[in-house]
Amino acid sequence: MSRCRPTAAWLLGCALLLSVGCATTQPWERESLSRDVMRIDGDADEEALRHHVLSTREGTAGSFGGGGGGCGCN
Amino acid sequence: MRLQLISRSAVALLSVSSLAVSSLAVSSLAPRSAAAQSSSPEWRLAADALYYTDTDNVTAVSPSLSVRRRLDGGGWVGVRGAVDVVSAASVDVISHATTGFEEVRSEGSFDLSVPAGDVTVSSAYRFSYEPDYLSNGLSLGLQFRLGSPDTVLSINYRLSWDVVSRVHTSWEAFSEDLFTHGAALSLTQNLGSETVLRLVYAPMVQHGFLEKPYRYVPLFGPAGQRLANRIPENVPDLRHGHALGVRLLQYLEPIDGSVRLDYQFYAGSWGVTSHIVEVVGLASVVDGFRLGLRGRVYGQTAASFWQRTYTIEQVGHVPRWRSLNRDLSPYYALTGAARMEWNTGEFSGHIDGAVTLTRFEDFLLLDERVAIVTQIGLRWTP
């Protein structure tokens, strides 16, 4: 991995951390966030099967779980 | 478990993926809003099936069934069972003096998610059995808000203990251990009322038997002639890697749908680096009925010791590290998919179809593979 990649990763991480608290949505503003199409994790059982295929067909796939959040209600 | 020949190594490496799924089995069921919480179903029954076929003569059918129940006071408990029925006559298999095989893998898992104050604690255990491969997986997760409901931090850890053997060989005569440690640290942030951003960092470490007992590497002489003997695959006993992922989800009001953009970068100690880009779009056609499209690009570089052919320059001087594992070679894959979802109250479901073209740029036995994956799922939430 070249030197610029970890640097970029740290910058991205810092940018996200700085964004914490910048956006506060009120309960009445979460209608869109609570819709099914806004589920950031997808369906667990469907993802389990899909990841099983990906894990045997792509050498290094998959880190997007880690889960929860998004709807602002956890 | 001659399935190992097909590409089992990736399964172990991808502990993060499995970790994510096991922990999400409960987290994705978490209440979505105060209103939704009061109407959240007590039970959830899910039946899924996946059919895979490719031009490398591999076919797999994978049905699964899961049941989950909401606990008093919040949280979920669930069990899941899955079976893989695989028939394979791929180049990996037939290059090892066999015409092919059929094999069955069985898997069972249990997961539990319990809220404790502002923290949700989740755990899962998984057991997988094949005639020549056992796998135990345990995962633990914590999920909590950072200040406001708009910011959620999640920490997961997973340990996998696999025992590798051979068919027609007793476990006492040959069995090797493989341990995988995976973690995932994710931060999910609402960026306004229609946008969600997630950042994930996932380190992983593997140690133990990382070879495949069925995989023998062909050797070539200085003049390029193929030698009669093959030698067992041999790779380092330690491998670690780091994955960094970003996910952006945007609501699209005109179509009552969403678009999701994923990017993941991976770098590991064996020299493999990879990039993944995925775009998913969903649109509501009529009430309770949605259509979706998905595109995915995967590309990776080779391991530092990867060679298309391993050459013997002097008698007795074989390369220390050698492999015939295509997942250590440079390749890319392009996927296009379409899906349909419906929801009629207690019953919902989806059908998903995908085509993947994989181009191996430096693999001796195969240049290209086209795969078709069909997935169907039904949900009942009485």
**Torsion sign (Cα): B70, B142, B115, B148:** negative
* A20/B151 Cβ within 8 A: yes
The CA-to-CA distance between both ends of chain A, in Å, stands at 36
Contacts by B306-309, CB closer than 8 A, 24 or more apart? B306/B330, B306/B362, B308/B362, B308/B363, B308/B364, B309/B218, B309/B220, B309/B224, B309/B364
Going by C-alpha positions, the residue among A48, A59, A58 that lies closest to residue B83 is A48
Interface test with A, best of B158, B190, B291 (most A CBs within 10 A): B190
Q: How far apart are CA B85 and CA B102, in angstroms?
A: 7
Q: pLDDT above 70 covers what percent of chain B? A: 88
Which residues between 83 and 142 in chain B have a beta carbon less than 8 angstroms from any beta carbon of chain A? Answer: 84, 120, 141
Which chain A residues are Cβ-neighbours of B268 within 8 angstroms?
Answer: 60
Query: What integer pLDDT is reported at residue B101 of this predicted model?
Result: 79
| Contact call for residues B43 and B67 (beta carbons, < 8 A) | yes
Token couple for B116: 């404790």
DSSP letter for each residue of B334-372: EEEEEEEEEE-SSEEEEEEEEEEEEEESS-SS-SEEEEE
Query: What integer pLDDT is reported at residue B33 of this predicted model?
Result: 34
pLDDT of residue B349 exceeding 50:
yes
Query: What integer pLDDT is reported at residue A67 of this predicted model?
Result: 38
pTM, full prediction? 0.85
Q: How far apart are CA B96 and CA B101, in angstroms?
A: 12
Query: What integer pLDDT is reported at residue B265 of this predicted model?
Result: 94
Amino acid at B135: S
Query: What integer pLDDT is reported at residue A16 of this predicted model?
Result: 59
| Contact call for residues B64 and B70 (beta carbons, < 8 A) | no
* Residues facing B339 on adjacent strands: B292, B352
Query: What integer pLDDT is reported at residue A63 of this predicted model?
Result: 46
Could you report the predicted ipTM of this complex, rounded to two decimals? 0.81
Tell me the per-residue pLDDT of B61-93, one tens digit each, with 9 for 90 and over.
999 999 999 998 889 999 999 999 988 877 776
CA B71 distance to own-chain centroid: 29
pLDDT of residue B13 exceeding 70:
no
Minimal Cα distance from A61: which residue of B? B14
Could you say which of 2.40.160, 3.30.420, 3.40.50, 3.30.70 is the CATH number of the domain covering B3-47+112-380? 2.40.160
| Torsion from C-alpha of A49, B22, B176, B95, nearest 10 degrees | 20
pLDDT of residue B273 exceeding 90:
yes
pLDDT of residue B22 exceeding 50:
no
Out of B32, B62, B64, the one facing A71 most closely (by C-beta) is: B32
Question: What is the average pLDDT value for chain B, to the nearest integer?
Answer: 87
| Contact call for residues B46 and B66 (beta carbons, < 8 A) | yes
Tell me the per-residue pLDDT of B28-51, one tens digit each, with 9 for 90 and over.
333 333 333 445 789 999 999 999
Minimal Cα distance from B149: which residue of A? A72
Out of A12, A45, A56, the one facing B7 most closely (by C-beta) is: A56
| Contact call for residues B134 and B162 (beta carbons, < 8 A) | yes
What's the gap in Å between the CA of A42 and the closest CA on chain B?
7
Tell me the per-residue pLDDT of B229-243, one tens digit each, with 9 for 90 and over.
889 999 999 999 999
Q: Which residue has the higher pLDDT, A60 or B186?
A: B186
pLDDT of residue B307 exceeding 90:
yes
Q: What DSSP element (H or E) covers A53?
A: helix A44-57
Per-residue pLDDT band for B21 (boundaries 50, 70, 90) equals very low
Q: pLDDT above 90 covers what percent of chain B? A: 67
Per-residue pLDDT band for B97 (boundaries 50, 70, 90) equals low
pLDDT of residue B382 exceeding 80:
yes
**What residues does each domain of chain B span?**
3-47+112-380
Minimal Cα distance from A60: which residue of B? B14
Out of A41, A42, A49, the one facing B64 most closely (by C-beta) is: A49
Query: What integer pLDDT is reported at residue B53 of this predicted model?
Result: 95
Q: What is the CA radius of gyration of chain B?
A: 22
Minimal Cα distance from A48: which residue of B? B21
* B148/A37 Cβ within 8 A: no
| Contact call for residues B207 and B218 (beta carbons, < 8 A) | no
* A47/B120 Cβ within 8 A: no
Which residues between 159 and 178 in chain B have a beta carbon less than 8 angstroms from any beta carbon of chain A? Answer: none
φ, ψ of residue B211 to 5 degrees: the values are -85, 175
Q: How far apart are CA B375 and CA B51, in angstroms?
A: 6
Mean pLDDT of B258-269: 95
* A33/B146 Cβ within 8 A: no
Mean pLDDT of B46-62: 94
In this structure, of A60-74, B282-296, B321-335, the range with the lowest mean pLDDT score is A60-74
* A69/B151 Cβ within 8 A: yes
Q: Which residue has the higher pLDDT, B199 or B3?
A: B199
Which residues between 20 and 59 in chain B have a beta carbon less than 8 angstroms from any beta carbon of chain A? Answer: 20-37, 46, 48, 50, 52
Query: What integer pLDDT is reported at residue A21 of this predicted model?
Result: 52
Out of A32, A58, A66, the one facing B186 most closely (by C-beta) is: A66
pLDDT of residue B132 exceeding 90:
no
Interface test with B, best of A10, A25, A34, A49 (most B CBs within 10 A): A49
Contacts of B156 (CB under 8 A, 6+ apart): A65, A66, A67, B19, B20, B23, B139, B140, B141, B142, B183, B184
Q: Backbone dihedral region of B8: left (phi > 0), alpha (psi from -120 to 50 degrees) or beta?
A: alpha
Tell me the per-residue pLDDT of A30-55, one tens digit each, with 9 for 90 and over.
888 888 899 998 888 998 888 888 87
